[in-house]
Chain A
Amino acid sequence: MKKSLNERLAILSDAAKYDASCASSGTTKRDSSKSGGLGSTEGSGICHAYAPDGRCISLLKILMTNFCIYDCAYCINRSSSNVERARFSVEEVVWLTLEFYRRNYIEGLFLSSGIIRSSDYTMEEMVRIARELRVTHKFRGYIHLKSIPEASPLLIEEAGLYADRLSINIELPTDMGLARFAPEKQPANIRKSMGELRLKIEAAEDPTLQTKRRQRFVPAGQSTQMIVGADAANDSVILGTSARLYGSYGLRRVYYSAFSPIPDASKNLPLIRPPLMREHRLYQADWLYRFYGFGIEEITESQPDGMLDLKLDPKLAWALANRHRFPVDINTGEREMLLRVPGLGTKAVKAILSARRYRRLRLADLARLHVSIKKVQPFIIAEDTTPHRLIDRLDLRARFEPKPEQLALL
C-alpha cells in the first residue's frame, strides 16, 4: 500500500536530519514585489523554528528518496540498512515547499537524495524540482541542492542556475576513512566536483563583455560537511582538511557533524553519544582560522595529541600556552593582537578601535560593550587596570575551567 504524504514526509525528513547545514544566508538580495510570484531573500537568513536539539530549522530539509545504491557505513540510508524506504514525486516536493513557504514555516528548500538508478538520473530529478519552483512557480526563496559527485557537468551547470547553494559532502576527514566507510565514494571525484564548481562560479563572476552584468550562478557558493568521531582522525587532521577545502574550492562553510548513532547501525561503527563538545570546539577553531587570523598549526600545536582542549575554548587555550604575548593594551594594541585576546570578538574589537580614537578606555567601557571582564582581565591593560602578575599565575587555567560536576549515573 502506498504510504500517505504525511508518512513519507516523516520518513524523508527523518532521513535528512544528519545533514547539519540549514543556512539560508549569503545569497543575493531579491524579492517578488516587482516580478510577482512568491518569496524573497534578504542577505541574512531566518531561522523559523528550533528543535529541542538546538538546531535551527530554516529550510525544508528533505530527501527526494531514501532508496540508495550506495552502502556508506555511517549513513542511515545505506543499501544494507533496513530503514523504511519512501520516495516523493517532483510535484510533491514542489507542493510541500510552496505550501510550507506560504505559511512562513521556512526560507526555502534543502533537497538531498539517495542515489537511485544512476547519478545522472537522480540529479536530473532534483534539477527538475528546482526548475519547477523557479520557472513555473516564480519561487524566489532559497534553494540548496546537494549535488551528486558523479553527475554530469551539464546537470550541475543547470542546477547552479536555479540553486542558491550547491554542496557535496566530503563526509570524512581523510581519504582512508572514506575508503573504509564509503567504499563506493571516490574522494578524488568529490574534490574534482568541488574544483569544477569553483571554476564555474568564478567564470560566472566575471562580468560579460557585452552587458557588464554578472550571471547568477550559485550566489551563496558551495559548502560541505565532515563527520566527526566516526573514524580516528584527530582535530588537527580535521582542521587541516578544512583549511585545504577553504583554500582550494572557495567553500563558504565546512560543517562538522558529530557522529550520531543511527538506527540499524553498521557493525563497523561505534555506538556512542555524539561528541557534541568536540564538534563545538571545531566550529570555534574554524572561526579562529577564518575570522581571527589564526593558523591551523597555532590552534592545535599546544595539544600533544592533536585534539582540541574540551574544557577551554581554543582561543583561551592558545592564550594560556602563549602568555608571553600578553597583556595587550586595549588603548594601543594592534587589531591583529586584540583579536587574539580571549573574550574579545570581532564586533568588540571593532568597537574598541572606533571608540579609542576619542577616549582612553577603562574596564567599565569594555563591560558596556558586553565583554566578559572576568575573561579578558588577565590578558589586557586598560586605562584603570593592569593584570599585575595575573598572567603569570600558575592557577590561571583553573580560573577558567568549568567547575567539576558530579557525573551523571548513566
Chain B
Amino acid sequence: MRRVWLDGKGDFDEWRMAARGLLINGVPPDAVEWRLRDEEGADLFAVGEAETSVPEQAVAPLPSLTVPRAFMTLAEAVICHSDPARLSLLYRTLHRLQGEPDLLAIRSDADVAALNALEKSVRRDCHKMTAFVRFKEVDAAIGATRRRFVAWFEPDHHIVARTAPFFQRRFTDMDWVIATPKGAAAWDGKVLHVSTVPAENPMLTDATDELWRTYFANIFNPARLKVKAMQAEMPKKYWKNLPEAGLIPAMIAGAEASVVAMAERAAQDAPLFHSRLQAAAKIAEDIDRPPPGTLEEVREEARHCTWCALHCRATQTVFGEGPSTADIMIVGEQPGDQEDLAGRPFVGPAGRMFDAIAREVGFNREEAYVTNAVKHFKYEPRGKRRIHQKPNKSEVQMCKWWLRLELDLVKPKLVVALGATALSALTDDRQHLADLRGQTIKLAPDRSLLVTVHPSYLLRIPEEGRKQEEMARFRQDMARVALFAQAAILGKELGRQRARESEGSRSDDIQPVG
C-alpha cells in the first residue's frame, strides 16, 4: 500500500503530479491510500512519511499516458470538493481511462456518475458564491481613489481560488476582499491574491443593506407563497450571511393576513386625475384624422379592420402603397412574413424578385401602386418560423372591400393580377389562371387587367430548366407592363405639353407689358 499525502485544498497541480507519478509507475488504484495533511490522525510520523511517498519501483510501467481533455476539466472541478474520497475516485478513473478511453461518454457508469455528481456540487457551490457574496463598504485609505468592499462567505468546498476571477472580471473598479473559512481572495486593481488560510468573519455592516431589505420585502408577492421553492434555491445554511434573510420568517407569517386584507378592501372611487385623463384622451382621439374620401382615410380605417379572424394572428394590416394617381396597379395575393413585420407590401423574397425583373425590363415599381388582394398575413406557426397559408374564399371576399376602394380612388388604367388569388379578387367569375395567363381583359371602359403568375411561384419551381422558362414568360408579361408605363408617361407628357401650350397662350394675354 502506497500512502500519498496532499494538502487537498483545491490545488489541482498537487494531485496531478502525484497521480502522474503513480500512473507512470503503473500503481493500481487499490494500492494507493490518499491522505490529507490536516485531517485527524495525520500525526508527525505520517507527515514525515509524505516526503518518502515517491514511488520506489515500477510495478508494471505503462507505455504512455493519455488523458482526455474532458477529464482534466472535470478533475479540476472535482478536486475542489471537500469529500476526501474524491482523490481516490479521480485516480481510479484516470487509471481506467488508459484502457477505456471513451469512459467519460458513459455517464451511467458508476465512477463517471459519481464524478459528475461531485462536479455538479462544486459547480453549484461556485454558483452560489457568485450569487450570495454580499459586499459591505469599508472606509477607503486616506488619499485612495478606489472604494473598498469586504465580504464574508462560507462555501462548502475549496472554491475560493476557482471563483475569485469571476469577481475580478465583474468588480474591476473597486478594491475588495472576500474572506471565507476556506481561504480568501483580494483584488486591488492590479493583482488578484488568493490564499487557503482560513479567515475570520469581519462582522461588518453597511447602510445600503437597509434599502436592499426594503426592496426584498416589497418585491415579494404574498399571494404566491412558495416557501419550498425558495428554500430549494436558497437553503437556510446561507441565510446567516444574507442581510435580507432575517425578514423571511415575518414575511411568511404575514402573507396570509395581507392577502385577506387586500381582498377585504373594496375598490374605492377613482382618484380625481383619472377622470381628467379620460377626458383628455377622448379629445386627442378626434384630432389627427385624415380628410374624408381620400386614400389616407381608407388606409387609416383599414389599419383597424377586424372583419375576418386573420387580424388577430397577423401583426398588422399591410395596405397598398405608391402614388395615389398611378396608372398601374399591381395586385398580389397577401403579405408574407417580411411584409407582415414591416407593414409594407412586396418587401420579402417574392417582392425582391419582382423588383429585379421589373428593373430588367425597364419598369420602375415606384411608379405603380402596389397592393395585395388580402391585407393580413395568413400563416401557421412552426417553431421559429411561419408557414404561409393560402387565404380562403371568404377571406378574399371580405377583403375585396378594401381593394375596391383602392381601385376607385387610385383609378389605374392597367391592373396587373399576380396569381390566382388576385385574379379571383379582381374578376367575379371563376376562371383558371392558366387560361388567362398573359391576356389582357377589359375591366371597365378605361381599365384593363393583365393576368400573370405570382413571383413566389417562380421561387418555388425546383427544376432549373422549367424555372428559367417560367421566368422568361414572366419577363415577357412584365415587359408589356413596362411598355404600358412608358406609353402612359408619354401620354401624360404630351397632355402636359398641350396644357402648357394653351396655358402659355393664355398667360401671354394677361402678361403686363413692360
Contact = CB atoms under 8 A, between A and B. Distances in A.
A60 B270 CA distance: 30
A6 B211 contact: yes
A174 to B, nearest CB: 7
Contacts of A249: 341
B227 interface: yes
Contacts of B136: 103
B401 interface: no
A121 to B, nearest CB: 14
A274 B218 contact: no
Interface in A44-62: 46-57, 60-62
Contact of B233 (A56, A138, A355): A56
A261 B227 contact: no
B225 interface: yes
Most A C-beta atoms less than 10 A away, residue of B130, B151, B215, B267: B215
Instruction: Assign chain A's interface to a size class.
Output: 35 or more
A40 B341 contact: no
A36 B173 contact: yes
B-side interface size class: 35 or more
Contact of B135 (A103, A260, A267, A273): A103
B208 A100 contact: yes
A95 to B, nearest CB: 10
A365 B110 CA distance: 8
B510 to A, nearest CB: 49
A386 interface: no
B223 A274 contact: yes
B220 A104 contact: no
Contacts, number: 258
Contact of A9 (B214, B222, B381): B214
Contacts of A38: 170-174
Given A13-B218, A32-B172, A247 B382 contact: yes
Contacts of B222: 53
Contact of B303 (A40, A56, A188): A188
Given A13-B218, A38-B172, A40-B170, A52 B341 contact: no
Contacts of A36: 172-173
Interface of B: 102, 105-110, 113, 127, 130-137, 147, 149, 151, 166, 168-174, 206, 208-212, 214-230, 233-234, 242, 244, 248, 251-252, 255, 259, 262-263, 265, 267-268, 270-271, 273-274, 277-278, 281, 303-304, 306, 311-317, 338, 340-343, 379, 381-386
19 contacts: A17-B219, A37-B173, A38-B170, A50-B230, A51-B219, A51-B251, A52-B225, A53-B221, A53-B226, A82-B271, A103-B137, A104-B171, A174-B312, A248-B340, A260-B221, A274-B224, A355-B105, A355-B107, A361-B108
Top 9 A-B pairs, shortest CB-CB distance: A54-B229, A54-B226, A247-B381, A365-B108, A80-B270, A31-B169, A195-B341, A368-B113, A51-B220
Interface of A: 5-6, 9-11, 13-14, 16-18, 31-33, 36-40, 42, 46-57, 60-62, 69, 71, 79-82, 96, 99-100, 102-105, 138, 174-175, 184, 187-188, 191-192, 194-196, 198-199, 243-244, 246-250, 258, 260-267, 271, 273-274, 276, 290, 351-352, 354-355, 357-359, 361, 365-366, 368-369
